[in-house]
Amino acid sequence: MNRKLLKPYVNSMAGSNMVVIQCPHCGEDVELEDDASGLFDCPHCHNNFDWNGDFQSSDLKAKFLLFLFSIFSPSILFITSLWLMVSVFSPRSFEIILYLVISLGICALYTISLAIYGGLKKNKPLLQGALLSIGATYLTIFMMGELL
Ligand SMILES: [Zn+2]
Protein backbone atom coordinates (compact mmCIF):
# COMPACT_ATOMS: atom_id res chain seq x y z
CA MET A 1 0.00 0.00 0.00
CA ASN A 2 1.31 3.39 -0.98
CA ARG A 3 0.33 5.49 2.01
CA LYS A 4 1.46 9.07 2.31
CA LEU A 5 1.61 10.99 5.54
CA LEU A 6 0.46 14.57 5.73
CA LYS A 7 3.08 17.17 6.32
CA PRO A 8 3.11 18.80 9.74
CA TYR A 9 1.13 22.04 9.84
CA VAL A 10 4.23 24.27 10.04
CA ASN A 11 5.70 22.72 6.91
CA SER A 12 2.47 22.96 4.97
CA MET A 13 2.24 26.68 5.71
CA ALA A 14 5.59 27.15 3.97
CA GLY A 15 4.37 25.49 0.78
CA SER A 16 3.08 27.84 -1.89
CA ASN A 17 0.06 26.05 -3.32
CA MET A 18 -2.15 24.38 -0.75
CA VAL A 19 -5.68 23.15 -1.09
CA VAL A 20 -8.10 22.58 1.76
CA ILE A 21 -10.36 19.58 1.37
CA GLN A 22 -12.84 17.91 3.70
CA CYS A 23 -12.02 14.50 5.10
CA PRO A 24 -14.67 12.06 3.77
CA HIS A 25 -14.78 10.33 7.17
CA CYS A 26 -15.01 13.11 9.74
CA GLY A 27 -15.63 16.18 7.55
CA GLU A 28 -12.76 18.14 9.10
CA ASP A 29 -10.62 20.41 6.93
CA VAL A 30 -7.41 18.79 5.71
CA GLU A 31 -4.63 20.73 4.00
CA LEU A 32 -2.94 19.08 1.03
CA GLU A 33 -0.46 20.23 -1.53
CA ASP A 34 -2.02 21.41 -4.75
CA ASP A 35 -0.73 18.52 -6.85
CA ALA A 36 -0.78 15.90 -4.11
CA SER A 37 -2.35 12.56 -4.93
CA GLY A 38 -2.60 9.13 -3.39
CA LEU A 39 -3.72 7.75 -0.08
CA PHE A 40 -3.61 10.07 2.95
CA ASP A 41 -4.02 9.83 6.69
CA CYS A 42 -6.54 12.25 8.13
CA PRO A 43 -4.83 14.15 10.99
CA HIS A 44 -8.16 14.43 12.84
CA CYS A 45 -9.72 10.95 12.75
CA HIS A 46 -6.70 8.99 11.42
CA ASN A 47 -8.71 7.24 8.72
CA ASN A 48 -7.32 6.82 5.21
CA PHE A 49 -8.78 8.58 2.22
CA ASP A 50 -7.97 8.78 -1.44
CA TRP A 51 -7.18 12.06 -3.17
CA ASN A 52 -6.22 12.22 -6.83
CA GLY A 53 -5.13 15.86 -7.00
CA ASP A 54 -7.60 16.59 -9.77
CA PHE A 55 -9.37 19.91 -9.59
CA GLN A 56 -12.19 19.54 -7.05
CA SER A 57 -12.90 16.06 -8.36
CA SER A 58 -15.98 15.73 -6.20
CA ASP A 59 -17.52 19.02 -7.19
CA LEU A 60 -19.29 18.30 -10.48
CA LYS A 61 -21.31 21.49 -10.45
CA ALA A 62 -18.18 23.67 -10.17
CA LYS A 63 -16.61 21.65 -13.00
CA PHE A 64 -19.63 22.15 -15.20
CA LEU A 65 -19.80 25.89 -14.48
CA LEU A 66 -16.09 26.28 -15.27
CA PHE A 67 -16.59 24.32 -18.48
CA LEU A 68 -19.45 26.60 -19.51
CA PHE A 69 -17.45 29.69 -18.51
CA SER A 70 -14.46 28.72 -20.65
CA ILE A 71 -16.72 27.98 -23.63
CA PHE A 72 -18.84 31.12 -23.51
CA SER A 73 -16.55 33.79 -22.07
CA PRO A 74 -14.44 34.02 -25.28
CA SER A 75 -17.53 34.61 -27.44
CA ILE A 76 -18.84 37.18 -24.96
CA LEU A 77 -15.44 38.90 -25.07
CA PHE A 78 -15.50 38.79 -28.88
CA ILE A 79 -18.97 40.33 -29.15
CA THR A 80 -18.22 42.96 -26.49
CA SER A 81 -14.92 44.07 -28.04
CA LEU A 82 -16.45 44.19 -31.52
CA TRP A 83 -19.43 46.14 -30.25
CA LEU A 84 -17.12 48.57 -28.39
CA MET A 85 -14.91 49.19 -31.42
CA VAL A 86 -17.85 49.63 -33.77
CA SER A 87 -19.61 52.06 -31.44
CA VAL A 88 -16.42 54.03 -30.71
CA PHE A 89 -14.99 54.25 -34.24
CA SER A 90 -18.28 53.86 -36.18
CA PRO A 91 -16.49 52.25 -39.14
CA ARG A 92 -17.73 52.24 -42.72
CA SER A 93 -18.67 48.99 -44.42
CA PHE A 94 -15.17 47.74 -45.26
CA GLU A 95 -13.54 48.76 -41.99
CA ILE A 96 -15.89 46.48 -40.06
CA ILE A 97 -13.91 43.50 -41.38
CA LEU A 98 -10.74 44.94 -39.84
CA TYR A 99 -12.42 45.28 -36.44
CA LEU A 100 -13.87 41.80 -36.81
CA VAL A 101 -10.35 40.42 -37.31
CA ILE A 102 -8.98 42.40 -34.32
CA SER A 103 -11.80 41.12 -32.10
CA LEU A 104 -11.14 37.56 -33.24
CA GLY A 105 -7.45 38.06 -32.41
CA ILE A 106 -8.25 39.29 -28.88
CA CYS A 107 -10.66 36.40 -28.44
CA ALA A 108 -8.09 33.84 -29.63
CA LEU A 109 -5.36 35.25 -27.36
CA TYR A 110 -7.70 35.15 -24.37
CA THR A 111 -8.80 31.59 -25.10
CA ILE A 112 -5.24 30.35 -25.56
CA SER A 113 -4.20 31.92 -22.24
CA LEU A 114 -7.23 30.29 -20.64
CA ALA A 115 -6.18 26.91 -22.02
CA ILE A 116 -2.57 27.39 -20.84
CA TYR A 117 -3.79 28.46 -17.39
CA GLY A 118 -6.11 25.44 -17.23
CA GLY A 119 -3.27 23.15 -18.27
CA LEU A 120 -0.85 24.58 -15.71
CA LYS A 121 -3.41 24.41 -12.91
CA LYS A 122 -4.49 20.90 -13.94
CA ASN A 123 -7.93 22.39 -14.25
CA LYS A 124 -9.43 19.96 -16.76
CA PRO A 125 -12.87 21.57 -17.24
CA LEU A 126 -11.26 24.94 -17.92
CA LEU A 127 -8.78 23.41 -20.34
CA GLN A 128 -11.40 21.35 -22.21
CA GLY A 129 -13.77 24.29 -22.50
CA ALA A 130 -11.00 26.58 -23.75
CA LEU A 131 -9.86 23.99 -26.32
CA LEU A 132 -13.44 23.62 -27.55
CA SER A 133 -13.63 27.38 -27.84
CA ILE A 134 -10.38 27.50 -29.84
CA GLY A 135 -11.92 24.93 -32.18
CA ALA A 136 -15.04 27.05 -32.55
CA THR A 137 -12.96 30.18 -33.20
CA TYR A 138 -10.95 28.38 -35.86
CA LEU A 139 -14.17 27.22 -37.50
CA THR A 140 -15.53 30.78 -37.45
CA ILE A 141 -12.37 32.13 -39.09
CA PHE A 142 -12.51 29.35 -41.68
CA MET A 143 -16.15 30.07 -42.50
CA MET A 144 -15.48 33.80 -42.71
CA GLY A 145 -12.64 33.06 -45.12
CA GLU A 146 -15.01 31.02 -47.27
CA LEU A 147 -17.62 33.79 -47.27
CA LEU A 148 -15.27 36.63 -48.18
ZN1 LIG B 1 -10.97 12.58 9.20
pLDDT one-digit tens code per residue, 48-88: 888 775 555 556 777 888 888 888 898 899 999 999 988 99
If you measure from the C-alpha of residue 43 to the centroid of ligand 1, how many angstroms do you get, rounded to a whole number?
7
If you measure from the C-alpha of residue 41 to the centroid of ligand 1, how many angstroms do you get, rounded to a whole number?
8
If you measure from the C-alpha of residue 49 to the centroid of ligand 1, how many angstroms do you get, rounded to a whole number?
8
Predicted pLDDT of residue 9: 43
| Residue 12 scores a pLDDT above 50 | no
| Residue 47 scores a pLDDT above 70 | yes
Predicted pLDDT of residue 57: 52
If you measure from the C-alpha of residue 89 to the centroid of ligand 1, how many angstroms do you get, rounded to a whole number?
60
H-assigned helices in the chain: 9-14, 60-89, 95-120, 124-147
Predicted pLDDT of residue 24: 84
pLDDT one-digit tens code per residue, 111-138: 999 999 988 887 888 888 898 888 887 8
Predicted pLDDT of residue 67: 87
* Contact (CB, 8 A) for 32 and 98: no
If you measure from the C-alpha of residue 19 to the centroid of ligand 1, how many angstroms do you get, rounded to a whole number?
16
Predicted pLDDT of residue 11: 42
Of residues 146, 17, 123, 143, the one with CA closest to residue 65: 123
If you measure from the C-alpha of residue 65 to the centroid of ligand 1, how many angstroms do you get, rounded to a whole number?
29
Average per-residue pLDDT for the chain: 80
CA distances from 17 to 8, 9, 22, 34, 43 (A): 15, 14, 17, 5, 19
Residues 6+ apart with CB under 8 A from 19: 31, 32, 33, 34
pLDDT band, very low/low/confident/very high, at 1 (cuts 50, 70, 90): very low
If you measure from the C-alpha of residue 33 to the centroid of ligand 1, how many angstroms do you get, rounded to a whole number?
17
Q: Which residue has the higher pLDDT, 32 or 13?
A: 32
If you measure from the C-alpha of residue 134 to the centroid of ligand 1, how many angstroms do you get, rounded to a whole number?
42
Predicted pLDDT of residue 139: 86
Per-domain residue ranges of the chain: 9-51, 60-147
Those residues whose beta carbon sits under 5 angstroms from the ion ligand 1 are 23, 25-26, 42, 44-45
